[in-house]
């Protein structure tokens, strides 16, 4: 064999070895790419066939893939957070205090019940008063430590509580501040003249408040009218005081408690004020109606009714 033939053999051998090495190298670095075959959902079992006859070789194909499972888990977590947010909103405590617009009478205090609603139970305790000027005399001619104690007892009796010591305390009222004093009896002559004196006193108080600019525009208009119209002098003053005494609720009647601003300051000066106001309550229901008020003062009922309604209506419009 000549040199040329040997050279050709070596060249062929190099090419074969290199080709084999290249194919091995290609296979070594080739990445495996799994093929996904779309699998149709398994057919429903024939009508009437029991579930346990369903082909079991489809179960693996029915298992959710990992991405879908993760998406469902995240979506479920989002729903859980939404439910928690809903619970937080449901249990949200409003900033506005329910007691802010709740009116509680004397002797009561506004509290929130378990449902968060405003209620007005009797005040549990009253502060201890050492000042003798804080003592009060009631319509039973009894001296109490403070007005709080009187209103608290009235509340107990109104609620039929065991803490109500006397049944008649259901209508206990304060006559005046200070210890009870012996008051002279109101004579018949004094009582017959008392309505006139009462009308004058109401007008003088109304005029004094107008001079000090302490009347509302509505009441000031009534006072100015009374100054120029003598027929309105007493009736307008009676309307002003009546609307002033008829507190919450505006029910066209004044309770004994609402009469306190008139009764208390006059008791020491006018010993007839208490029997006069008692005589106004003709039916003894512890409330004085507008009709009873006008008769006690010797005024026309219709005049007071219309004027009081006019003032009340104007105030409500503001």
pLDDT of residue 125: 93
The average pLDDT across 77-93 equals 52
Residue 205 predicted with pLDDT over 60: yes
pLDDT of residue 135: 92
Cis peptide before 249 (omega within 30 of 0): yes
The answer to which of 54-63, 71-80, 201-210, 249-258 has the lowest mean pLDDT is 54-63
The reply to whether 158 and 201 lie within a common domain is no
pLDDT of residue 268: 72
Tens-digit pLDDT profile for residues 281-307: 888 888 888 788 888 888 877 766 656
The reply to whether 282 and 312 lie within a common domain is yes
Are 194 and 272 in contact, with CB atoms under 8 Å apart?
yes
**Domain end: 128, 148, 177, which one?**
177
pLDDT of residue 142: 93
Which of the 8 DSSP states describes residue 96?
S
Tens-digit pLDDT profile for residues 266-282: 877 788 888 898 888 88
The model's confidence at residue 41, banded by pLDDT at 50, 70 and 90, is: very low
The reply to whether 223 and 167 lie within a common domain is no
The conformational region for residue 50 under phi > 0 = left, psi -120 to 50 = alpha, else beta, is beta
- Residue 275 domain-assigned? yes
pLDDT of residue 38: 47
Residue 58 predicted with pLDDT over 50: no
The reply to whether 150 and 195 lie within a common domain is no
Q: Bigger pLDDT: 75 or 262?
A: 262
- Residue 211 domain-assigned? yes
Q: How far is CA 87 from the centre of its chain?
A: 22
CATH of the domain at 153: 3.30.60.30
Tens-digit pLDDT profile for residues 144-182: 999 999 999 999 999 999 999 998 898 888 888 888 988
Q: Bigger pLDDT: 150 or 98?
A: 150
- Residue 223 domain-assigned? yes
The average pLDDT across 87-92 equals 54
The reply to whether 272 and 248 lie within a common domain is yes
The model's confidence at residue 54, banded by pLDDT at 50, 70 and 90, is: very low
pLDDT of residue 184: 87
The model's confidence at residue 73, banded by pLDDT at 50, 70 and 90, is: low
pLDDT of residue 63: 43
Residue 280 and residue 244: Cα distance in Å, rounded? 18
Give the whole-number percent of the chain exceeding pLDDT 90: 20
If you average pLDDT over every residue of the chain, what do you get?
Answer: 75
The contacts of residue 233 (CB under 8 Å, 6+ apart) are 203, 226
**Domain end: 177, 197, 213, which one?**
177
pLDDT of residue 146: 92
Q: How many domains does the chain have?
A: 2
Residue 1 predicted with pLDDT over 80: no
pLDDT of residue 48: 45
pLDDT of residue 60: 39
The contacts of residue 308 (CB under 8 Å, 6+ apart) are 239, 242, 243, 290
Q: Which domain holds residue 128?
A: 101-177
pLDDT of residue 156: 95
- Residue 75 domain-assigned? no
* Neighbouring C-beta atoms of residue 155, cutoff 10 Å: 24
> What's this model's pTM, rounded to 2 decimal places?
0.53
Which of the 8 DSSP states describes residue 230?
G
Q: Bigger pLDDT: 265 or 62?
A: 265
């Amino acid at each position: 064999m000549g040199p040329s033939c040997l050279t050709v053999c070596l060249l062929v051998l190099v090419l074969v070895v290199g080709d084999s090495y290249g194919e091995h190298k290609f296979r070594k670095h080739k990445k495996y790419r799994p093929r996904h075959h779309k699998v149709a959902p398994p057919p429903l079992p024939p009508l009437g066939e029991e579930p346990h006859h369903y082909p079991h070789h489809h179960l693996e194909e029915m298992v959710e893939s990992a991405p879908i499972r993760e998406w469902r888990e995240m979506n479920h977590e989002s729903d859980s957070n939404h439910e928690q947010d809903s619970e937080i909103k449901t249990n949200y405590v409003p900033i506005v205090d329910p007691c802010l617009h709740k009116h509680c009478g004397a002797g009561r205090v506004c509290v929130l019940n378990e449902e968060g609603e405003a209620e007005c139970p009797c005040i549990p305790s009253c502060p201890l008063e050492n000042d003798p000027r804080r003592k009060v005399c009631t319509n039973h001619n009894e001296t109490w430590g403070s007005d709080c104690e009187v209103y608290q007892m009235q509340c107990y009796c109104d609620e039929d509580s065991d803490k109500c010591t006397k049944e008649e305390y259901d209508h206990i009222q304060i006559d005046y501040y200070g210890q009870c004093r012996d008051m002279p009896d109101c004579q018949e002559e004094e009582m017959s003249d008392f309505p006139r004196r009462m009308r004058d006193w109401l007008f003088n108080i109304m005029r004094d408040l107008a001079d000090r600019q302490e009347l509302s525009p509505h009441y000031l208009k009534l006072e100015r009218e009374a100054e120029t119209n003598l027929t309105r002098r007493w009736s307008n003053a009676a309307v002003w005081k009546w609307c002033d005494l008829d507190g919450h609720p505006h029910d066209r009647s004044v309770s004994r408690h609402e009469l306190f601003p008139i009764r208390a300051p006059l008791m020491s000066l006018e010993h007839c004020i208490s029997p006069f106001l008692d005589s106004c309550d003709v039916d003894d229901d512890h409330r004085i109606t507008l009709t009873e008020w006008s008769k006690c003062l010797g005024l026309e009922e219709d005049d007071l009714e219309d004027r009081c309604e006019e003032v009340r209506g104007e105030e409500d419009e503001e």
